[in-house]
């Protein structure tokens, strides 16, 4: 009995379409073996669409996307500094709009160093952790404002909003995840000594939920100290739970130490399945190398793995992971085209 999965595909800008083409190839090869039929709808969204029509994501687009069961997204964002595109309009109007509207309160970003991959760290050790980044609150809420803009008296504010509801649900998810893993360790990362209101909320909720998970050991690091351990002893981490902005920063750093942003996959998860979850590489649209088949599609392909895992297809996900691992371990130093990497991984899967 095959199951049909309705997938919204948003290739986006820059290298997005190139890496998504490879991710879709991989999905198409793996799905049948899992008795899965993927019904894809393509959405043309991003900077080009904005430049052509002036809109970023209409209510109709959003409704149409929300009627799918999952989303695969490449990357969005125009050329930095393009005078026709106000700073962040695509990122906020499209990417963050989807995360917020579809209540993606868990932004899941696993980090491991695949065998054969060179870390910039001399001795990274045995790195295998997951950052559970809150996705719908914090300084990302867009509740800032400016007064007297453009004058010497300008005041520009940004508000970080944190709620018990929002923090508790992501903390619970993180504990649940930690309890399932071998080491059962959870680290809260925040800046409780400065951001005392938000920090106190996060700390109290972690303490309260910890009481329900006696098998999980819990510690705490300030965000600044956490970045130190990311380069001196990343192997110490198992599950990290943190706020939206700290999670953004830590996961780029995590990608860097584990072999680069070209390998970092992520899932924007709505654990209740009230809305479709969204899977995307952590990297951006990299307009400087777009259209040249220079981008590494591995992160997009691994994001397909996270998608399959999310729907319970653990075996299919593991096959993708293994194919990627083999490909990585046999990569020479000669650069390959985006499609060559995709083809090589597909070949290992067939």
Ligand X SMILES: CC(C)[C@H](C(=O)O)[C@@H](O)C(=O)O
> Does the annotation flag 305 for ligand binding?
no
User: Binding of ligand X at residue 91 (CB under 6 A)?
Assistant: yes
Query: Which residues make Cβ contacts (< 8 Å) with residue 104, sequence separation at least 6?
Result: 98, 135, 136, 268, 269, 270, 275, 277, 278
Residues within window 165-184 making contact with a second copy, judged by CB under 8 A:
165, 168
Q: Which of 123, 157, 193, 333 binds ligand X (CB under 6 A)?
A: 193
> Does the annotation flag 252 for ligand binding?
yes
> Between the CA of residue 278 and those of 100, 145, 152, what are the distances in Å?
11, 29, 42
**Distance from C-alpha of 155 to C-alpha of 148, rounded to nearest angstrom:** 7
User: Binding of ligand X at residue 194 (CB under 6 A)?
Assistant: yes
Residues within window 205-224 making contact with ligand X, judged by CB under 6 A:
224
> Does the annotation flag 61 for ligand binding?
no
User: Binding of ligand X at residue 248 (CB under 6 A)?
Assistant: yes
Query: Which residues make Cβ contacts (< 8 Å) with residue 67, sequence separation at least 6?
Result: 6
The tokens for 220 are 């705490």
Query: Which residues make Cβ contacts (< 8 Å) with residue 174, sequence separation at least 6?
Result: 132, 186, 239, 240, 241
User: Binding of a second copy at residue 318 (CB under 8 A)?
Assistant: no
**Distance from C-alpha of 170 to C-alpha of 129, rounded to nearest angstrom:** 16
**Distance from C-alpha of 271 to C-alpha of 275, rounded to nearest angstrom:** 9
User: Binding of a second copy at residue 14 (CB under 8 A)?
Assistant: no
For the window 76-95, what string marks contact with a second copy as x by the rule CB under 8 A?
Answer: -x--x------xx--xx---
Q: Which of 111, 162, 270, 298 binds a second copy (CB under 8 A)?
A: 162
Task: Give the annotated binding-site residues.
Answer: 99, 109, 133, 224, 248, 252, 284-296
- Interface residue list for a second copy (CB under 8 A): 77, 80, 87-88, 91-92, 96, 119-123, 139-140, 142, 144-146, 149-165, 168, 191-201, 203-204, 220, 223-225, 227-228, 230-232, 245, 248-249, 251-253, 255-257, 260-261
Task: Give the annotated binding-site residues for NAD(+).
Answer: 284-296
């Amino acid at each position: 009995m095959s199951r049909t999965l309705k997938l919204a595909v948003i290739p986006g800008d820059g290298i997005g379409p190139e890496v998504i083409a490879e991710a879709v190839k991989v999905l198409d090869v793996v799905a049948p073996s899992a008795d899965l039929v993927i019904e894809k709808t393509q959405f043309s969204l991003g900077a080009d669409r904005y430049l052509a029509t002036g809109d970023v994501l209409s209510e109709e687009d959003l409704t149409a996307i929300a009627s799918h069961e999952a989303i695969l997204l490449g990357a969005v964002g125009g050329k930095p500094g393009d005078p026709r595109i106000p700073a962040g309009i695509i990122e906020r109007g499209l990417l963050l709009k989807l995360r917020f509207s579809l209540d993606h309160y868990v932004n899941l970003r696993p980090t491991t160093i695949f065998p054969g991959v060179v870390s910039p760290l001399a001795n990274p050790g045995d790195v295998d952790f997951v950052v559970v980044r809150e996705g719908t609150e914090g300084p990302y809420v867009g509740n800032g404002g400016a007064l007297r803009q453009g004058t010497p008296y300008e005041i520009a504010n940004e508000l970080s909003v944190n709620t018990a509801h929002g923090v508790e649900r992501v903390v619970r998810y993180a504990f649940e995840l930690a309890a399932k893993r071998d080491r059962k360790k959870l680290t809260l990362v925040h800046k409780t000594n400065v951001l005392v209101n938000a920090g106190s909320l996060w700390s109290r909720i972690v303490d309260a939920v910890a009481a329900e998970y006696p098998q999980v050991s819990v510690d705490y690091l300030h965000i600044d100290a956490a970045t130190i351990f990311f380069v001196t002893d990343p192997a110490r981490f198992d599950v990290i739970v943190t706020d939206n902005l700290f999670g953004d920063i830590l996961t780029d750093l995590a990608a860097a130490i584990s072999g680069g942003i070209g390998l970092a996959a992520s899932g924007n998860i709505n654990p209740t399945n009230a809305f479709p979850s969204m899977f995307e590489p952590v990297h951006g649209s990299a307009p400087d190398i777009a259209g040249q088949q220079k981008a590494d599609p591995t992160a997009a392909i691994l994001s397909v793995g996270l998608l399959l895992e999310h729907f319970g297809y653990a075996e299919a996900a593991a096959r993708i992971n293994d194919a990627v691992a083999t490909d990585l371990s046999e990569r020479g130093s000669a650069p390959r085209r985006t499609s060559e990497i995709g083809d090589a991984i597909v070949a290992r899967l067939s």
